[in-house]
Structure 1
Amino acid sequence: MNPVASIPATYGRTADGDLAALVCDIAYAAIPGARGLRVATSWRPGKPMSEWTRDDFYGASAIVGDEAGFHDHIAEQVQHQTELRDLRRKPGSARVSTPWGQSQSSEIYADGVIFHSTASHGGFKLDRARNALMPVALRVLGGWYEEDAEWAKVATGFPDLFTAYERRHAEKTLRNYYPNCWEATNDRFLKPGESHENDRRLFGEKHARDWIVVSAIRSDEHPGLTDCIARLGGVRSAGVQRRFLVPSGEYSAGRFGFVIDEARHREL
């Protein structure tokens, strides 16, 4: 059996000297930045690659370490576009009312699995039969799954309808935003550092009785110090707040908030 032909990628250099590639109608350029190469994207630039400039790009898909990383990223996009072609998703014609407003366009992934886009947001609608087939840990009552994070539940429940690239992103999204769902579908507990939301929960449990900064500003009255407003457990709705001075060189908001050390940080 002959292997499935991949969608081709064309490589070259832009007018700015940046490494570039074209996959289907999507243009990519590796633009140097502080953290490596920013992979900028554009749709149908409409001119030869050698005439592309940085002003022609308006999106970004990744940050890679070097040109080899750029080639790896493009290879991933080639695989993604090839698999998309073979999935044969179809444009839908129905315009329906969604939780985010009237749908303006739709895409049919399979019978009973339709993605709807609105003026402001979008997401999947699973019909009753499809939603009943979703694992209980992933199922959303009513069958609407919004596009920012809940889409990952659909990709996890029906992996054959998604590309390998989409499945990798779905796994990461589910793990970071719905750790309980991830644990239920993977039959193991997450370790610290594996999930953003799980780490947030662990931080909250550990510091429930600590004063966490919710607002901070460098103090004009006390040079070199940061004026911090803290609430118990970092809960903004908590009734009591306290003010502390923290050395500016020490203060950093961190991932989930700065923890006040009552023995060292002076209260105002």
Structure 2
Amino acid sequence: MSAIAIDYGTTADGHLAARIGDMGYIAIPARGGFRLASGWRLSRPICEWTENDVFGSEGIVTDNAAFRAHVEAIAVHLRQREALARTETRMPVSTPWGMSQGATIYADGVVFHSTASHGGFKLDRARNAGLHSALRIKGGWYEEDADWARVAIGYPDLFTDREKKLADRTLRDWAPDAWESVHGRPLLPEESLTRDRQRFEREHADDWVVISAVRSDRHPEYVEAIATPGGRRDHAASRCYLVPAEEYAAGRHGFVIDPERHVRAPAN
């Protein structure tokens, strides 16, 4: 495994920054810590970088130590990816997302295709048959947003530790039935976004849950919140409540109205 160096420095804006290969990262102050801003092919010295040089965002870290830990993890990922010796090529292949414009060969029978709008993996017949039945998609096409995780879980030796961790999280959140079949146990609500949403829907099936909200013109200190039973958008019943603006936050799955505290908005 080659040594991919990390260079740390301070930008012209006075922010902690790091260069890993041709990637650049800047810790930009934000609410809750620092925003992980990233850029590509930053060839100038770090001391000349500014916030205008970075366009990507990889979340929020709490402090400088957390920024450095993130950068170190990226470096490990890049070293592992290099050791996997994936091959870049071109294949005139029609995919579910259009013609392939570039292909990355992970192994025999495992190819990732990029198109003008999307991308994903194509597994040949043998590779697809080799997946756990709960992971397998007929036809062998696995789109890049979520289904790619099925490939990474099924063939972990072809992926980096960072990719495998992300794949596990993706499967837990968006395909919990598949994750549970592979691992042989149910997921707790706190282990899966989908399972947590299902718990929320069960617990608040009879409560008024907000489906849309806007700052009130008539009552500036309040949010006018439209709510339906269980937050079901297809429900015939709906009510408008006034919620203090400082209190309202949509939350992970929705804001639950408390009829004892939140008053009904007066009719127009």
Question: TM-score under structure 2 normalisation?
Answer: 0.89
Give deviations 1:113-168, integer Å, cap 9, x for gaps. Answer: 11111112111111121111111111112211111111111111110000011111
2:34 paired with 1:37 = yes
Where does residue 79 of structure 2 map in the other structure? 82
From 52, 58, 66, give the equivalent of 1:55.
52
1:48 partner letter: P
Unaligned regions of 5+ residues in structure 2, if any?
Answer: none
Give deviations 1:5-51, integer Å, cap 9, x for gaps. Answer: 43222222222232222212112222222221222222112222222
The percentage of aligned residue pairs carrying the same residue is 52
1:109 CA displacement: 0.7
1:216 partner letter: A
| Cα distance in structure 2, aligned partners of 1:71 and 1:222 | 46
From 87, 102, 105, give the equivalent of 2:102.
105
1:187 CA displacement: 2.4
1:21 partner letter: A
| Cα distance in structure 1, aligned partners of 2:45 and 2:217 | 55
Contact persistence 1:6–1:79 (CA under 8 A)? no
Contact persistence 1:122–1:146 (CA under 8 A)? yes
Where does residue 187 of structure 1 map in the other structure? 184
| Cα distance in structure 2, aligned partners of 1:161 and 1:222 | 57
| Cα distance in structure 1, aligned partners of 2:160 and 2:98 | 28
SS at match of 2:239: strand
The structure-2 alpha-carbon separation of the partners of 1:101 and 1:75, relative to structure 1 and needing over 3 Å to count, comes to same
Aligned length: 265
Where in structure 2 are the equivalents of 1:125-144 lying within 5 Å?
Answer: 125-144=122-141
From 178, 195, 198, give the equivalent of 1:198.
195
Contact persistence 2:22–2:43 (CA under 8 A)? no
| Cα distance in structure 1, aligned partners of 2:25 and 2:225 | 44
| Cα distance in structure 2, aligned partners of 1:230 and 1:113 | 47
The structure-2 alpha-carbon separation of the partners of 1:72 and 1:217, relative to structure 1 and needing over 3 Å to count, comes to closer
Give deviations 1:48-96, integer Å, cap 9, x for gaps. Answer: 2222222111212342222222221222112111111110111132132
What is the Cα-based RMSD across aligned positions, in Å?
A: 2.1
1:247 CA displacement: 4.4
2:207 paired with 1:228 = no
SS at match of 1:31: strand
1:183 CA displacement: 2.0
The structure-2 alpha-carbon separation of the partners of 1:53 and 1:218, relative to structure 1 and needing over 3 Å to count, comes to closer
Where in structure 2 are the equivalents of 1:150-169 lying within 5 Å?
Answer: 150-169=147-166
Question: TM-score under structure 1 normalisation?
Answer: 0.89
The structure-2 alpha-carbon separation of the partners of 1:22 and 1:232, relative to structure 1 and needing over 3 Å to count, comes to same
Indicate the larger mover: 192-201 or 202-211.
202-211
From 64, 68, 93, give the equivalent of 2:90.
93
Contact persistence 2:90–2:101 (CA under 8 A)? no
Give deviations 1:94-119, integer Å, cap 9, x for gaps. Answer: 13222222222111111111111111
| Cα distance in structure 2, aligned partners of 1:66 and 1:266 | 41
Indicate the larger mover: 109-118 or 220-229.
220-229
2:214 paired with 1:217 = yes
SS at match of 1:46: coil
Contact persistence 2:211–2:226 (CA under 8 A)? yes
The structure-2 alpha-carbon separation of the partners of 1:70 and 1:262, relative to structure 1 and needing over 3 Å to count, comes to closer
1:223 CA displacement: 5.9
| Cα distance in structure 2, aligned partners of 1:219 and 1:239 | 23
| Cα distance in structure 1, aligned partners of 2:240 and 2:28 | 44
